[in-house]
A and B are shown apart, each in its own frame.
Chain A
Amino acid sequence: MPAALELKDVTKIFGSVKAVNKLNLTIEQGECFSFLGPSGCGKTTTLRMIAGFENLDEGELYSDGKLFSSSYKHYYLPPEKRDFGMVFQAFAVWPHMTVYDNVAFPLKIKKLPKNEIAERTEMALKATSLTKEAEMYPQKLSGGQQQRIALARAVAINPKVMLLDEPLSNLDPHLREEMRFEIKALQNKFGFTVIYVTHDQAEAMALSDRMLVMKEGVVQQVGGPLDIYNDPANKFVFSFIGLSNFIPVKVKNGQIFVDGAESWGTINGEIPGNLDPSIEYDIACRPSEIDFAPEGIKAEVVRRTYLGDIVDYLLKIGDTELRIQKPRRHSTARLGETCHLRFNRLLWYDRKEETASKT
């Protein structure tokens, strides 16, 4: 079976900036694939090139074995001929049409027979539980319902590929979760391929079979959510995927010390055999990957924040701060105390590598 989408050396240049730089990617039929990255990383531009709203400055784009765009052959298929479904962040439902007419619009454009239009519209409305609202105008409906209209409209034409551009960013947090399940359920029902653009790592992980992390137009890593969580390709991916601690370390006599705080003890854990002695290293770990233990490196509790399920700690080893988050049942340390830590997993990165900025 040919790939749902194939991108070859896809490049887009805005002015002097390479918004997308030589992107190569194959997305299989029926996959749910996410583009994840901070704003301005080129993920939306890539999606718009796939949709056909932007032409490629270089490269080729195939869908289902068919050429859609090629800078070499000067070929470009306009968006209306690509037969994709697409859902936008700002819903983009037409306020002058009823819910029913919104959903039926693409079918009418295709000049399908009347009974088929009715059938498929009703099916799409049913799948998004909008049957009751069919005769209403979108503005009378909530944000979640409006986004469901957009989904129904995209589903109605039975597309092979569904493009979703931050579809949940304009919704309340609790609605976001609900809609996420709904998108997944629609995919299971209709079997289309999903391309999902987001800056929210939890959303991307929850939805995707595979995902791609992007920075400044360049792909950083492609893989399954758990792979990316467990084995981030670099410091940027590590920091983008969740709350992170980076601790500057020094290795001496086969022991790991916190740089500048040798007297506080050693960090438990293995030292990789392939460390380059000329490079300064940071070790990276998640706040949940550190335990309070009877022994281990010392740390001082400078802030303890009770968050219900989880207690969030700010600790100091010398001048180095680190965050720990533990379920309240395992949160023994009190404010001002000195405690001991055990590290469950360490990743080693060159200290000079960039992290994702926190804003």
Chain B
Amino acid sequence: MSKAVKVQKKFGMAEVALIFSIAILVIVVAVPVIMIFLTAFFKDGHFNLAGVIEVLRQKDTYLALKNSLIIAFGVTLFSTIIGVFFAWLLARTDIPCKKALNAMFMVPFMLPSFICAMAWKVLLSPRSGYINKMLMSMFNLSSAPIDIMTMGGIIAIETMYLFPFVFLQVSGALERMDPTLEESARISGASLWTITRKITLPLVMPSIVAGALLVCLYSLAHFGVPSILGVEKGIYNIPTKIYERIYASGGSYEAIRVGTILATILVICATLILKLQNVVLKKGRFQIIAGKSMRPVVLKLRGLRWPLFIICVVYLLLTVVLPTVTIFLIGGLKTYGLPFLPKNMTFENYAEVFQMKMTRSAIWNSVYLSTLTAFVTMLAGVMISYVIVKMKVKGKFILEFLGVLPYSLPGTVIALGCILTWSGKFGINLYNTAGIIFVAYIARYMAFSIKSNSAALEQVSDSLEEASRSCGATHWQTLTHIVIPLIRPGMINAFFLIFLPALRELTTSVLLYGPTTRTIGVAIYALNEDGETVRAAALAGIALIIIFIGETFIKGLLAKLDKTKRSA
């Protein structure tokens, strides 16, 4: 007869994990947010709405808000149209080379939009853009025919690199959709065109909306493209305005306060968007997933087959190949402005990237910061999602709320919050160190990690754990032998979901960097600002190569994991 064990009523593993999880989220996420609101609405300990109104009445802040909204709206609209069109074309027609096209349409996702904006500026700026110059000499024009440094230009460039959000959502939904939903419409007598309008599109509408709102959220708080294409011409959106105010005043408290007020507006907009998304998704979450897998009805394009294929190819050439090639070519120019002739080309700029202290340390900073962030955030995410998904403890709702909060926090807002929190106010001063960028990254990417890990954990049914317990394994053994191995793909996914965007991060880092803590994004941006276009392009080219290696590595690794799981 073995010993009977007393029930532990006080402090179980569940409670410890819960408290620890809440502590992480409070310190990293909640405190910075609270600091922003306090700074925005309180002055000398008093509630102060007048100051807020005053800031909003200044013409430049008001204009920045207006621009932010116009850009976000335009980008969302065009991304949706382009994303849905290409997704439908690839999933529901007999367009050739589907597999290759599908892969190629994901590439714009990898490209950092501010690097591409740089390329486009080189090609299409009104004064010295290569294409503009070419067109002017070809057609004897007196002024540049295309001006990319306008609101329209910003919208166009952002659209090019944000539409995959919509594309991905919609093509996923179309692929998973039960083909009999469309077949039953066909047998009812509907033509393919009617089916597309009346059945297919309404059924994927929730995915369209989800993708569109992601684009909107992203564009609203986007720093890179407007700063490269707009600032020079006096076109500001909220993130660039905040940066300008803080930069111009050398980081004065007043500038930061204005920043927090603008940031609050961003948070409100973002919250509204997410709210809208929840409403739409809740209303229209259709169960359209198939039981039997069969091929869906495919529209025969007949005569349009090759013309549409060519449109896809041209679109990809323009948005992917042209800017990438431009970056590498500019990076190889001896002096900016020279024509692209063999005699003007050199490898020296690329070599210099590794010789110059500033660029070398930027690469090192980005690589170690994103690796560290990805690793720490992934592990914290596992613990937090485990508590959310698997544990029965009171007070879990706090965690659920704090876990999704970073979703509605634009990068600029997180940066401001971190400045306010980690500049010695609570006894820790990380300002101008890599530490502040590190905590900001954690806050920014925690939601990714929780989402990926929660999804993986939800796949692990409770009975798998219970089976292990009844086999004699303790809670901890169950965790290490059963749960962790099962969610490993989710963890790896989370790692790369954080690592790759962090590697090219600009919006947050640009407000937080110090003299020795530039990241790749900041370094490219700074070089470009200083007119060192050639060096900026060379560094950008190297960044593209690093990102490309990272992307193929993740794909290869995940595919390999998947394969060993299936074939072993």
Contact = CB atoms under 8 A, between A and B. Distances in A.
- Touch between chains A and B, by CB atoms below 8 Å: yes
Interface string B196-233: 00110011010000000000000000000000000000
A81 B183 contact: no
Given A92-B178, A92-B184, A81 B291 contact: no
B286 A95 contact: yes
Contacts of A106: 188-190
A170 B291 contact: yes
A139 B189 contact: no
Contacts of B286: 95-96, 139
A47 to B, nearest CB: 11
> Which of B184, B186, B187, B292 counts the most A-chain CB atoms under 10 A from its CB?
B187
Contact of A92 (B181, B191, B198, B284): B181
Given A88-B180, A95-B286, A96-B286, A82 B198 contact: no
B288 interface: yes
B198 A95 contact: no
B290 A109 contact: no
A80 interface: yes
Interface residues of A, number: 31
Interface in A153-175: 153-154, 157, 163, 170
B291 A79 contact: no
A79 B287 contact: no
B255 interface: no
B292 A90 contact: yes
> Which of A51, A92, A109, A139 counts the most B-chain CB atoms under 10 A from its CB?
A92
Given A94-B199, A157-B188, A89 B291 contact: yes
Contacts of A96: 202-203, 205, 284, 286
Nearest to A97: B202
A53 B191 CA distance: 13
Nearest to B184: A92
A82 B188 CA distance: 9
Contacts of A157: 188-189
A292 interface: no
Contacts of A95: 203, 286-288
B292 A80 contact: no
Contact of A86 (B187, B194, B203): B187
Contacts of B198: 105
B185 interface: yes
B290 A90 contact: yes
A62 B330 CA distance: 68
A85 B187 CA distance: 7
A110 B189 CA distance: 7
Contacts of A150: 184
Interface string A69-100: 00000000011111111101110111110000
Q: Which range contains the number of B residues in contact with the other chain?
A: 20 to 34
B484 to A, nearest CB: 35
Contacts of A90: 178, 180, 290-292
B188 A92 contact: no
A150 to B, nearest CB: 7
Contacts of B292: 89-90
A52 B297 CA distance: 11
A94 B180 CA distance: 10
B188 A51 contact: no
Contacts of B178: 90, 92
Nearest to B289: A90
Interface string B256-277: 0000000000000000000000
A89 B191 CA distance: 22
Interface string B63-96: 0000000000000000000000000000000000
> Which of B178, B180, B190 counts the most A-chain CB atoms under 10 A from its CB?
B180
B198 to A, nearest CB: 7
Contacts of A89: 180, 291-292
B195 to A, nearest CB: 9
Contacts of B287: 95, 139
Contacts of B188: 80, 105-106, 109, 153, 157
A102 to B, nearest CB: 9
B6 to A, nearest CB: 45
Interface string A214-230: 00000000000000000
Contacts of B291: 89-90, 170
A345 to B, nearest CB: 39
Contacts of A109: 188-190, 194
A170 B292 CA distance: 11
B354 to A, nearest CB: 54
A90 B294 CA distance: 12
Contacts of A110: 189
Nearest to B206: A96
B180 A80 contact: no
A92 B287 CA distance: 10
Contacts of B186: 53, 78-80
A80 B181 contact: no
B196 to A, nearest CB: 13
A157 B186 CA distance: 13
Interface in B113-155: none
Contact of A94 (B194, B203, B297): B203
Contacts of A153: 184, 188
Contacts of B284: 96
A174 B351 CA distance: 76
Nearest to B286: A95
B185 A105 contact: yes
B117 to A, nearest CB: 39
Interface string A97-130: 0000000011001100000000000000000000
A82 B187 contact: yes
A88 B183 contact: yes
A88 B189 contact: no
Contacts of B183: 51, 53, 79, 86, 88, 92
> Which of B180, B183, B188 counts the most A-chain CB atoms under 10 A from its CB?
B188
A78 B178 CA distance: 20
Nearest to B178: A90
A136 B408 CA distance: 34
B165 to A, nearest CB: 23
> Which of B178, B189, B205, B292 counts the most A-chain CB atoms under 10 A from its CB?
B189
> Which of A52, A53, A82, A154 counts the most B-chain CB atoms under 10 A from its CB?
A53
6 contacts: A52-B187, A78-B186, A80-B187, A92-B184, A96-B203, A157-B189
Return the 4 tightest CB-CB contacts between A and B, nearest first: A106-B188, A92-B180, A95-B286, A88-B180
Given A92-B178, A96-B284, 15 more contacts: A51-B183, A82-B187, A89-B292, A90-B291, A94-B185, A105-B188, A106-B188, A106-B189, A106-B190, A109-B188, A109-B189, A139-B287, A153-B184, A157-B189, A163-B187
